[in-house]
């Protein structure tokens, strides 16, 4: 039962001329007594109005760190060491805490993997949602209640659930509450960090379908993070592939699915079951990503790459444009 495919409905998606979110050369280090570890290395990525941009890659590739750094919600010991994050024309990295507080929920919201951890254990669902409305709106109590009912219905939840606590709900219901909270103030950008990873496949399908339906109806932009490339290709307009803290391929979803340029992307596609393909023909990627403390001096994928040449061991490949909106960082990609 495939989620209705966003990418096949879109024409070849080029990067937006006037992005809503424009992340430029963002670097993030984790500090420790042994020194700094660069988890995100000068990654640039934009999201256009009403666009869904996916970020995929193995665990530890930097995708969540990148998104959380861009939203300035990454706690120490992580530090942003370089870059700009231009959102609706303003650099979020230069904003003070109060300016950021006003933007969150209202202009940009985030849904995390585990709603149980992001929902308050002792407050009812309604009280938590009302807190967001109290902080950001001047609505009357009756208007807030009406908004709560409306947003819970929007994600196909019984409005009566607002009187319950998070632990009384199933995992799928809690994720829907997380989405309802994120949509409460109708932000222009939603960041979804593995929003359905902890759920079973049927619940995941239903929630993704609902999110797509809402995105089309309300035309908000989405930055969608997942390790599941098959799901990513279904729902995204453009897809960015991260590897060991670097952006190694960026392309419209149809181009990435049918003509991936980077050997890592090709290997990832073989490692994930296509929703219509034969699950017995999967191939794991041999080896493991490199340590970010001591990454290889040349291409970071070289130790696992089946077509590596001598140059790959010493020379780091730059991300270069290879087609319409399609770029890759590989010495041999054409």
Q: Which residues bind ligand SF4 (CB under 6 A)?
A: 262-263, 299, 301-302, 305, 307-308, 312, 317, 330-332
Does the N-terminal peptide bond of residue 77 adopt cis geometry, omega within 30 degrees of 0?
Answer: yes
Nearer to ligand SF4, 87 or 301 (CB): 301
Alpha helices in the chain (DSSP H): 63-70, 97-103, 115-118, 125-136, 141-154, 171-183, 201-218, 229-235, 253-258, 263-271, 310-314
Which of the 8 DSSP states describes residue 3? P
Nearer to ligand SF4, 148 or 302 (CB): 302
**Residue tagged 């392309």 (tokens):** 251
Nearer to ligand SF4, 69 or 239 (CB): 239
Q: How far is the CB of 82 from ligand SF4 (least distance, A)?
A: 23
Rg of the chain's alpha carbons, rounded to an integer? 20
Contact 87, 103 (CB under 8 A): yes
Q: How far is the CB of 95 from ligand SF4 (least distance, A)?
A: 37
Give burial (CB, 10 Å; 0-12/13-18/19+) of 306: exposed
Q: How far is the CB of 332 from ligand SF4 (least distance, A)?
A: 4
Q: How far is the CB of 46 from ligand SF4 (least distance, A)?
A: 24
Q: How far is the CB of 317 from ligand SF4 (least distance, A)?
A: 4
Q: What is the DSSP string of 137-197?
A: ----HHHHHHHHHHHHHHTT--GGGGGSBGGGS-HHHHHHHHHHHHHTT--SEEEEESTTT
Nearer to ligand SF4, 21 or 229 (CB): 229
Nearer to ligand SF4, 210 or 331 (CB): 331
Nearer to ligand SF4, 18 or 283 (CB): 283
Nearer to ligand SF4, 14 or 307 (CB): 307
C-alpha–C-alpha distance, residues 285 and 244, integer Å: 14
Q: How far is the CB of 327 from ligand SF4 (least distance, A)?
A: 13
Q: How far is the CB of 264 from ligand SF4 (least distance, A)?
A: 6
C-alpha–C-alpha distance, residues 297 and 289, integer Å: 14
Paired residues of 225 in beta bridges: 55, 193
């Amino acid at each position: 039962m495939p989620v209705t495919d966003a990418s096949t409905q879109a024409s070849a998606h080029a990067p937006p001329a006037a992005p809503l979110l424009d992340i430029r050369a963002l670097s993030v280090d984790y500090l420790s007594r042994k020194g700094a570890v660069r988890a995100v290395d000068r990654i640039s990525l934009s999201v256009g109005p009403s666009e869904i941009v996916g970020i995929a890659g193995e665990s530890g590739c930097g995708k969540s760190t990148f998104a959380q750094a861009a939203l300035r919600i990454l706690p120490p010991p992580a530090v942003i060491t370089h870059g700009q994050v231009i959102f609706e024309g303003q650099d979020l990295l230069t904003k003070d805490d109060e300016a950021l507080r006003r933007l969150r929920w209202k202009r940009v919201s985030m849904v995390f993997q585990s709603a149980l951890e992001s929902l308050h254990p002792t407050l009812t669902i309604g009280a938590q949602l009302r807190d967001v409305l109290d902080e950001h709106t001047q609505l009357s109590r009756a208007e807030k209640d009406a908004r709560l009912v409306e947003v819970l219905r929007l994600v196909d939840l019984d409005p009566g659930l607002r009187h319950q606590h998070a632990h009384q709900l199933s995992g799928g219901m809690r994720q829907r509450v997380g989405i309802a909270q994120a949509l409460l103030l109708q932000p222009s950008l939603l960041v979804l960090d593995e929003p359905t990873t902890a759920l079973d496949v049927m619940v995941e399908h239903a929630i993704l379908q609902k999110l797509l339906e809402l995105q089309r109806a309300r035309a908000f932009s989405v930055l969608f993070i997942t390790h599941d490339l098959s799901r990513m290709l279904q729902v995204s307009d453009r897809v960015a592939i991260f590897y060991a803290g670097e952006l190694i391929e960026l392309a419209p979803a149809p181009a990435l699915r049918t003509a991936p340029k980077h050997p890592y992307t090709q290997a990832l596609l073989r490692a994930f079951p296509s929703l219509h393909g034969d699950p017995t023909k999967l191939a794991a990627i041999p080896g493991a990503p490199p340590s970010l403390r001591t990454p290889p001096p040349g291409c970071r994928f070289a130790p696992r790459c089946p077509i590596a040449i001598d140059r790959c061991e010493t020379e780091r490949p730059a991300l270069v444009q290879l087609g319409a909106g399609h770029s890759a960082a590989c010495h041999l990609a054409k």
